[in-house]
Amino acid sequence: MNKKNIILLLSISVFIGFSSCKKNYTCTCTDGRGFAYTTEIKATKKKAEALCTDQQNSSGSLGRYSCTIE
């Protein structure tokens, strides 16, 4: 392999490695009455979205929540 191909392969490997890193995401949930709370989630984006959806599906004392990930 020539030097150009090696650099290209290393660049692709680094990109793939960083794309699956855990990051901090904020899950913001609100109910129908305007009560809001946020939760910080350190995970991959896919896992953070799943955890935020789980919170949305839970019932609180004021009813169902609507949650979004940021």
Q: Is the per-residue pLDDT at 9 higher than 70?
A: yes
50 Cβ partners below 8 Å, 6+ apart?
Answer: none
For the chain, the domains span 22-69
The proportion of the chain whose per-residue pLDDT surpasses 90, expressed as a percent, equals: 19
The proportion of the chain whose per-residue pLDDT surpasses 70, expressed as a percent, equals: 79
CA distance 60 to 24: 24
- The pair of structure tokens assigned to 67 is 């949650």
* pLDDT at position 24: 92
Mean pLDDT of 37-60: 85
* pLDDT at position 34: 81
- Cα-trace Rg, the chain: 19
Q: What is the DSSP letter of 2?
A: -
pLDDT tens by residue, 15-39: 666 666 788 999 998 887 888 888 9
